[in-house]
Every structure is written in structure tokens, then in C-alpha cells.
Structure 1
Amino acid sequence: MGFKNVTHVLFDMDGLILNTEDLYTIAYQNITTRYGKEYTFDLKIRLMGAQSHETSQIIVDALQLPITPQEFIEESKKQFEILFPNSQVLPGAKRLIEHLHKNNIPIGLATSSSKESYELKTSKNHQKLFSLFPYKTMGSSDPAVKRGKPHPDIFLVAAAKFPDKPNPEQCLVFEDAINGR
């Protein structure tokens, strides 16, 4: 098997750079518990990398919650406002991002989060780190990203934001979600 020349790097955010997958679990469990339901690990695995409208629909359907997906989104936003500002950078992430930036390797962010969610996660403690990403794609807010992971839409849109328009095969993607492979 031959290796392709990598010229650009794309990073997922949730669960890879920030500990927000843990925070999503807390938020969703807080909501589902009110309806006597459990947010399970199996359900969590199905959702990783999905856009917010996809996530809410899957949770409401899977757990047969007596609310609409839009109501689930609204309840989630309230939870996120409390939890996300306290997100933490995961071990090694800052060092790798800073190393690539220092060595002029083009880097971009490709997160399924919405712009609003991204701001909650990064504005309090992580502005400096995320300022190193000149190109950011927020899948739940970007109309060019039609489908969430496992579809490659977010990575193709993110790669197209680099000024030199690399072939997607030249982009190394760091992704933690099974759905993002």
C-alpha cells in the first residue's frame, strides 16, 4: 500500500481537541432523565459527528420522547450554555496544533458543531488556540454541508476553504468519531 503526499490537515473538534463529548453526554442525559429515559452509550455512538437536527431527531425517535426534535434542540441549548464554557483541551491536542502552525502546515477545523455551539465551547478559555485555525467549517451552520458524518461533506467543504484548493486525498483528517471515518 502506498502513502499519498499529505499537504494539509483537518481537525474535528468535539472529543478530539475538546472534552465536549463528555459534556454532550451530561446534557443529553439531563434531558432524557426528565422523561424517564436513559441516554445510552450505544445511542451516543450513533450520534457522534451528526449535525444538531439529525441528533435531535435520532434521540427523540430512539427514546420515544414526548417532545419534538425542535423542542429537544431548545432544551439542549439551555444545557450547553451551562456546560460548554467549561470545556477543556484534551491531552496532546494543543501541542500538535501549535507544532503544525509553527511549521506552516495548513490546518483547518471541520466540526459538526454549529457556530453558536463553537462560540460557547471556545470563547471563554480557548480563543488563542482556535485562532491558529485560519479556516473553520461548522457543519451544523454551514449551508454547504448538506449531510453529517459518516458522509464526507464536512471534510470536502473544509478542504475547499484552503486557498490552494488541495485534492481531498492530500488532507490528513484527525477524527475521533466512528461515524467520521
Structure 2
Amino acid sequence: MDGLMVNTEELYTTVGETILERRGHQFTAELKNEMMGLPGDVAWQVMIDAHRLTDSPAELDAECEVIFADLLPSRLQAMPGLMDLLAFLEEHDIPRCVATSSSHRFAERVLGQIQVLQRVAFVVTAEDVPRGKPHPDIYLEAARRMEVASNEMLVLEDSHHGTRAGIAANACTIAVPGEHSRNHDFSGVHAVADSLADDLIR
């Protein structure tokens, strides 16, 4: 979802910069890449370990929510091609869901704001499975709820950790990197798309 369907990866950069600037550190591209696609508590622990912060993952997550609350109303946008892709899937009666490392609360808020929540069957988050991405659990759970075999499912992902999860679930996995993830290792994916508007997704 983040960076694939909505521009929240861009907003996460602002959040990461703000949090670390308050503590006298810089939020580097390398650190962001390490955190990208991981469940929230795991991602925050990466930041904590990188800068030896005294905060807990829960404390950083709470601070993040406050910063995001200011950013979302004016800066949240759907990624290019998303609405046309959803219309195509609806026209061809292809089931769809969202599998994200974000929390239910955050995912539903974001998807609701861009009026997409009602256009997917359900949302699976890291809160619903024992292990987050890059483990396959979230996509195996999505396939179970969809009542399809995981190898019959198409997974679209913008990050290394996300594509690892899709591949591990034996799903047809297409990488759709953004500016934030062009340099990620997408080896093993079925294909790499330029954007959600790329014809190879259809």
C-alpha cells in the first residue's frame, strides 16, 4: 500500500526526518531502505538500533501518528494509475485486496481518504499474521481469505521486503518501484513495471 497505492513513502521521509532531527540525527536514504516494507515495530527497531535511540518502537510509532495527522489531510495522494487499475479490475470482476505492513487503523484511514477502501474486499495487515514481510504470511493469509491458491494470485509490490514476501508465498509477483525504491533488489520477480499504469499488469 505505502508507496504503491498512495504516496505515504514520500510522507514517511518527512516523518523520519522530523523524528531524527529532534534527536540530533539525519534520516538517510540507506536507513529508509532498510526500514521500507517492514512491519512498524520492526522498522522502528531498525531506526533505534541505527542511532542507539532510547525510545521504544511504541513511542516512535505514537510520535509518527501525530506527525502524520498533520500531513495526511493536505499531502496524501493516490499513486499514478491506481484508479484506472481499480476500474479495470472491477470491469473484469477480478477480486482484489490490500496486504500491508501498516496497521489496520492507518490503512483504513488512508484508503478511506482516497475513497479506495470500499473498492477492495478486505485489508490484511501485519497485525493479522505471526510474521510480517519479508515472510510470506501476509500473502498466504490474503490467499486464504480470497479462497484461491497463492500461486493463482498477482502481487504488486514497490519494495524489496514486499517482493520477497510475494515470491516466498509463490505468488506471481510484479515489482512497481517508485522513486524511493528504484535501487532495490527485485531479483526473482515475474516482471518490473514502470507504474500502476503499465500495460504488463493488465
Instruction: Look up the SS of the partner of 1:174 in the other structure.
Output: strand
1:174 aligns with 2:156: yes
* Alignment counterpart, residue 24 of structure 2, candidates 36, 39, 46: 36
1:122 corresponds in structure 2 to 111
Q: CA–CA distance in 2 between the matches of 1:38 and 1:66?
A: 16
**Identical aligned pairs, as a percentage?**
37
Give the corresponding residue for 1:101.
90
Instruction: Give the 3-state SS of the residue equivalent to 2:97 in structure 1.
Output: strand
Contact 1:17–1:93 under 8 Å retained in 2:
yes
Cα deviation, residue 123, structure 1: 2.9
3-state secondary structure, aligned to 1:123:
helix
Q: Is the 8 A contact 1:81 1:120 kept in 2?
A: no
The 8 Å contact of residues 4 and 158 in structure 2, kept in 1 or not, is answered as yes
Mapped pair 1:82 → 2:70 = yes
Q: State the AA in 1 paired with 2:6.
A: L
Is structure 2 residue 155 aligned with structure 1 residue 155? no
Cα distance in structure 2, aligned partners of 1:120 and 1:136: 12
| Structure 1 match to 2:12 | 24
2: CA distance between counterparts of 1:82 and 1:160?
36
Query: What is the match of residue 134 of structure 1?
Result: 121
* Long gaps (5+) in structure 1: 1-12
CA-based RMSD = 1.3
User: Are the counterparts in 1 of residues 15 and 68 from structure 2 also a CA contact under 8 Å?
Assistant: yes
Normalised by the size of structure 1, how large is the TM-score? 0.84
1:15 matches 2:8: no
Instruction: Please give the alpha-carbon distance, in whole angstroms, between the structure 1 residues aligned to 2:71 and 2:54.
Output: 24
Relative contact order higher in (CA < 8 Å, ≥ 6 apart): 1
- The structural deviation recorded for 1:66 is 2.9
| Structure 1 residues 147-166: Cα deviation after superposition (integer angstroms, max 9, x where no partner) | 2211111111111111xx21
- Residue in 1 aligned with 2:45? 57
Q: Is 1:147–1:153's contact at 8 Å kept on the other side of the alignment?
A: yes
Cα deviation digits, residues 23-56 of structure 1 (max 9, x gap): 1111111011111111111111111111111111
Query: What TM-score, normalized by structure 2, do the two folds share?
Result: 0.76
**CA shift for structure 1 position 95:** 0.5
Report the Cα offset of residue 135 of structure 1: 2.2
Q: Cα offset for 1:130?
A: 2.6
Deviations 1:108-135 (A, max 9, x none): 11111101111332333x12x2311012
